[in-house]
Amino acid sequence: MKENYSFFNIIKSLSYAMDLISKTLVGHHKRVAYVSYRFGLKLGLDIKEMKKLIAASLLHDLGIFYLDQEYQDLNSDDENYFHAEVGYKLLEQNCFDPEIADIIRYHHHDYSNNQNQLSNIIHLADRIVVLISDGKSVLNQVNHIKKVIENNKERFCPECLKLFPELIENEAFCLDIISEKVISKELDNFFEDIDWKMDLDELINVSKLISHITDFRSPFTAAHSQGLAAVAPALAEKYNYSKRECKEIKAAAYLHDIGKLMVPTEILNKKGKPTKKEWNILRSHTYYTYQALSTSPKLDKIRNMAAYHHEKLDGTGYPFQLDKKDLNLSERIMAVADIFTAITEDRPYRKGMKKNKVEKILTEMSLSNKIDKDIVATLLENYNEINQLRIEKQKNASDYYQDFREKINEKRLFYLLKETSNELYK
């Protein structure tokens, strides 16, 4: 039986989090999705193709996070844009629809080198959006946008180019592109009218993909969410949670650090103690996890488990300063499981802690009313079993990450050699 989880809402969550990486990037994915959507309507695409087009548009630049690029690096178009290849690799083995990975892979390729219609639509939509400068009237930029596109028309799909003048010369269309309210309403209405629901297992798979996107930005966080996704459900089982409830807490574990996309990698990888300013940035990730997952009431339970993992029973946690009366058992389990996972795994500034030190820290925190005493006692009673699950899960995740890095580095070398060769023959 399909659960009432909307695929679109979870993709919106990821798109929102990705846009946090740069002030310039805010709203970029949604704008490209909207422009692509309007082209798709004009081209008469069927519902199946429209779904793929919008999903790929909302995710098209996800590779920039692994590469730690700024959005400004993406303002000039290049058929060899490496971030598109990285995005493809992130999605290749984890994607809910393999064709979406291919669409993203080719979204910067010229029409002559790319016969994927949906990639070609996103290519043109992306260039239109990038050419719009914030702080200026969009209507005063139409002539410039037309000139740039027309001067590079050999790069774009002829079918799209035929429609381009009609769209760009429509004042309402241009104003829509910069209106977050209009874009959200149009995309929400489209997905309300179609059936693209996920069951809980499918939600877990998408959530696992999101954990790779968020965690792979640093070798020290590459396996963190995977470890938490082993520890939290194992603890929940000790409280006789149903299979469904354990799956919900597993999905939340995969999603709990989605807000960390806004944290610069130099902070994530810092070997020393963070400064006060850096710590404030780190702390804010839970707030952005909450906001990213606030796309539907259907996600509220999972959102709260994910976003409250740094709250404390005495109200000294963050970001909402909730206390014991506000935190249910699942949210308390997540908090204990996250601390346990964090202190037992390797970090940039220290090796994972041994059992006696872990026991000391968790016990002291429970006695000072920071975390739940009963959950800590349950964890310590089952320490070896649960820790072994964490070790195995994180070992598999680390191996996967290393394999991913090797493949990406091979591709990076290929691109560098290709670019060098092109320069030699100019």
The pLDDT of residue 306: 98
Q: What whole-number distance in Å separates Cα of residue 285 and Cα of residue 319?
A: 9
137: burial class by Cβ within 10 Å (0-12, 13-18, 19+)? exposed
Of the two residues 290 and 8, the one the predictor is more confident about is: 290
* Closest alpha carbon to 286 in 259, 314, 249: 259
Long-range contacts of 165-171 (CB under 8 A, 24+ apart): 166/42, 167/38, 167/39, 167/42, 168/128, 168/142, 169/142, 171/139
CB atoms within 10 A of CB 404: 19
The pLDDT of residue 71: 47
Of the two residues 245 and 2, the one the predictor is more confident about is: 245
* Closest alpha carbon to 308 in 331, 285, 342: 331
Domains of the chain: 5-197 (1.10.3210.10), 200-404 (1.10.3210.10)
pLDDT band of residue 420 (cuts 50, 70, 90) is very low
Structure tokens at 317: 């946690």
Question: Which residue do the tokens 């079918």 mark?
Answer: 159
Residue 79 has pLDDT above 50, yes or no: no
Residue 1 has pLDDT above 60, yes or no: no
The pLDDT of residue 251: 97
Residue 175 CA, chain-centre distance (Å), reads 28
* Closest alpha carbon to 111 in 151, 71, 79, 66: 79
- Burial code (b: 16+ CB inside 10 Å, e: under 16) for 184-211 equals eebbeebbeeeeeebebebbbbbbbbbb
